[in-house]
Amino acid sequence: MGRVAYFIRSTEAGYESIRPTSGTAVWRTPQESPAPEPLTAVTTPGLTAPVWRTRRSAAVAGIVFAVLLLVAMTLIRLALSDADPASLRANAARRDQIRLGLNLVPFAGIAFLWFIGVVRDQIGAVEDRLFSSVFLGSGLLFVAMMFVGAVNAASLVTLLDRPRTDIEIWLFGREFAQSVISVYAMRMAAVFTLSVSTLGLRVKAFPRWVCFAGYAAALVLLVSAGEHKWTQLVFPLWVLLLSIVILLTKPQRHSEPEGLHT
């Protein structure tokens, strides 16, 4: 029956030692050592079907997100035109309208996450690590804050269904939800818009005027979103515009932007 020998490779003082686990070591100079075999790339099949990774998929996800968020925000803003909790308690139709808008938020978040993933996949090898990290991080924070604000708002609506509601607690919850969405989530939306517009300019993923429109939308979100609530609709409107442009235009041939991976 044959014996199986195991070898340990080590280097010392410019020499290479190929030593069996038992026996005498054999010393070779680096020139005498056999040339290493070239490495070959091993490719694995993608886990996602190609149809879900195309520009059309990104456009559809962006359109779904924009439409759902526009409808949700409009329904909630119209129902909350009078922020008096007593009037909301007396009007069940307005509470149902708020619930309908809040129920659309999770689906908008799912579509937005898919939009982020497909856009990153489309950028591919020319991805700028700096802006892509900001792009991904701000997008995830935006979705997280929208979910937190929606959960808090749903809890406030539930409080109004009870016979006795502590007004101070209700007002505190309302201010918390408005701060999370109007101040923090919208600022993250502005950073997301800035990073996507910058990436679009660098890799020529979409027309320049869309990028400049993104800069303008980000400026509005940074400056006015906290004070003027209806200006928050600028973000889903810009995503809707971007998605329609992606859907209707062909990708431009682009080279690796100057300054990347240096």
Q: What is the pLDDT of residue 187?
A: 92
DSSP at 82: S
- Compute the distance between CA of residue 252 and CA of residue 203 in angstroms, rounded to an integer: 9
- Label residue 48 left, alpha or beta by phi (over 0 means left) and psi (-120 to 50 means alpha): beta
Q: What is the pLDDT of residue 31?
A: 54
Q: What is the pLDDT of residue 122?
A: 64
- Compute the distance between CA of residue 257 and CA of residue 102 in angstroms, rounded to an integer: 41
* pLDDT tens track for 168-178: 888 888 888 88
> Which one has a higher pLDDT value, 51 or 132?
132
Query: Which neighbouring-strand residues pair with 19?
Result: 8
Give the three-class secondary structure for 10.
Answer: strand
- Compute the distance between CA of residue 2 and CA of residue 230 in angstroms, rounded to an integer: 81
Structure tokens at 25: 């070591």
pLDDT over 90 (residue 69) = yes
Structure tokens at 47: 């886990």
Q: What is the pLDDT of residue 81?
A: 66
The closest of 128, 168, 166 to 260, measured between CA atoms, is 128
* pLDDT tens track for 184-222: 999 999 999 998 888 888 877 778 899 899 999 999 998
Range with the poorest average pLDDT among 32-41, 218-227, 245-254: 32-41
- Compute the distance between CA of residue 168 and CA of residue 156 in angstroms, rounded to an integer: 12
